[in-house]
Amino acid sequence: MTPPDPDEAQRAIEYCYDQGWSDGLPLVPASAPLVESFLATTGKDPDEIIGSLEQVGRDCTVYLAAVNAAMAGCRPEYFPVVLAAFEALMRERAARGGGFQSTSGPAPLIVVNGPVRQRLGFNTAGGAFGPGFRPNMTIPRAIGLIVRNAFGIHPHVFEQATQGVPGRWSICVAENEEESPWGPLAADGGVGGGVSAVSTTLTRTMEFVDNRHAPDPEDVLRDFQDTISRTGSQIFPKSAVALVLCPEHAQMFAAAGMSKAEVQNWLLERSGRTVGEFRRAGKAEVTSRRFGPPGAAGAGHADDGPPRADDEFHPILSGPQSIPIIVAGAKNAAISMVVRIFGEWSGTSVPVGDKQ
């Protein structure tokens, strides 16, 4: 085989930059034969519309998703995962609304379950948030390029992130099902039976909980509770977090006899602050019974009662969907991550489609 011409490759890469298609990093120039090989992995019609952003009058078709996935550096066989991740993302209310335009600059958290992880070479072990692994890096990048190119959401124009989220368009976690004591996230999202599936939500950032010396699981849970309960991220009466537990923490809770639901419930009951603590942080409104317009995101209380006492506890989580749990990373230290969800998770997972 004759080695490729690097000068020609560079001209093609620069051409893509000049068209305004890039997220800042070099793109793989997409040719018709390359995109055909992506389309050949799905039974879907290339013209099928798989997502619309009505406010900007733009649609994403299977074909456009394939072009952007190719440009992101995906291999053709990743394409069904890209389609599932995008479908899951577009189930999020915030993504269909103004999420991609938002000052908060949220990042999709993509979680992959099932045998597709091994088949495509996802990283399921240490360094779960990357980098170093092609499917984990290029699939979320494909989603970012779809938002930029197919939806036309460009920074400083329709994309108005104040600071954005570090690693936006690069967060794709393959759950460490092999070392998890519990069922996969996809089962919580309605896709059980070990089927390959993708779950996606929008997130605003994440913070680690490093607790590797406490022998008592309740102490560790209290450490999580404290991190979850910060006032800084609280902008509505209710919020949501994803817990990305390392195998060591997950196994510790399981060894103490706790199911995933019991860990969720322990934290659901206790995560939050008192009304006075929110008030002293200038956020009394998040504890108000009359927060926001009816039906708005976060409007939690319809009744109008007497003012709440400063020492009244205000819980911030509202149900299992407000605290999905994923097990990821290496079993080499007790370090987990609290991920702030933007809005709420749809609570549904999308099976990775096979070619029909």
Partner 1 sequence: MPNAILDPTGTATASPGSARPAAARAPRPASLDGARVGLLINTKTNARPFLAEVGRLLAERYGVTVTTRTKTNFAVPEPEDVIKELARESDVVVTGVGDCGSCSAAAAADGVVLEAAGVPVAVIVTDSFRATADAMAALRGAPGYRYAVTAHPVAVLEEEQVKDRAAQVLDDVVALLTQPGE
**Residue 33 found at the interface with partner 1 (CB under 8 A):** yes
Applying CB under 8 A, which of residues 26, 46, 98, 181 lies at the interface with partner 1?
A: 98
Q: Which two tokens stand for residue 203?
A: 């997130």
Q: Which is nearer to partner 1, 160 or 274 (CB)?
A: 160
Asked whether 177 and 113 are in contact (CB, 8 A), the reply is yes
**Residue 160 found at the interface with partner 1 (CB under 8 A):** yes
Classified as helix, coil or strand, 198 is strand
Residue with tokens 């074909």: 63
Stretch 130-149: interaction string toward partner 1, x if CB under 8 A: ---------------x---x
Size of the site for partner 1 (CB under 8 A): 44
Q: Which is nearer to partner 1, 12 or 256 (CB)?
A: 12
Q: Which is nearer to partner 1, 36 or 216 (CB)?
A: 36
Which residues 47-76 are close enough to bind partner 1 by CB under 8 A? 54-61, 64, 67-68, 70-71
Q: Which two tokens stand for residue 3?
A: 């080695």
Q: Which is nearer to partner 1, 16 or 214 (CB)?
A: 16
Q: Give the separation between CA 199 and CA 85, rounded to whole angstroms.
A: 7
Report in angstroms how near the CB of residue 150 gets to partner 1 at its nearest.
6
**Residue 281 found at the interface with partner 1 (CB under 8 A):** no
Applying CB under 8 A, which of residues 167, 183, 292, 298 lies at the interface with partner 1?
A: 292
Applying CB under 8 A, which of residues 23, 30, 44, 238 lies at the interface with partner 1?
A: 30
Q: Which is nearer to partner 1, 49 or 255 (CB)?
A: 49
The candidate with the shortest Cα–Cα distance to 104, out of 160, 152, 167, 154, is 160
Report in angstroms how near the CB of residue 44 gets to partner 1 at its nearest.
16
Scanning 184-192, 209-217, 273-281, 291-299 for contacts with partner 1 by CB under 8 A, the matching segment is 291-299
Scanning 14-22, 77-85, 172-180, 217-225 for contacts with partner 1 by CB under 8 A, the matching segment is 14-22
Asked whether 185 and 109 are in contact (CB, 8 A), the reply is no
Q: Other CB atoms closer than 10 Å to residue 253's CB: what's the count?
A: 22
Give Cβ neighbours of residue 54 (< 8 Å, ≥ 6 apart).
Answer: none
Asked whether 59 and 52 are in contact (CB, 8 A), the reply is yes
| DSSP element (H, E) containing 326 | strand 325-327
**Residue 333 found at the interface with partner 1 (CB under 8 A):** no
**Residue 21 found at the interface with partner 1 (CB under 8 A):** yes
DSSP 44-78: S-TT-EEEEEGGGTEEEEHHHHHHHHHHHT--GGG
Asked whether 116 and 195 are in contact (CB, 8 A), the reply is no
Asked whether 323 and 269 are in contact (CB, 8 A), the reply is no
Q: Give the separation between CA 342 and CA 42, rounded to whole angstroms.
A: 30
Stretch 294-323: interaction string toward partner 1, x if CB under 8 A: -xx---------------------------
Q: Which two tokens stand for residue 214?
A: 């406490």
The candidate with the shortest Cα–Cα distance to 266, out of 200, 222, 226, is 222
**Residue 158 found at the interface with partner 1 (CB under 8 A):** yes
| DSSP element (H, E) containing 162 | none
Report in angstroms how near the CB of residue 88 gets to partner 1 at its nearest.
20
Q: Which residues bind partner 1 (CB under 8 A)?
A: 12, 15-16, 19, 21, 29-33, 35, 54-61, 64, 67-68, 70-71, 97-99, 101-103, 145, 149-150, 152, 156-161, 292-293, 295-296
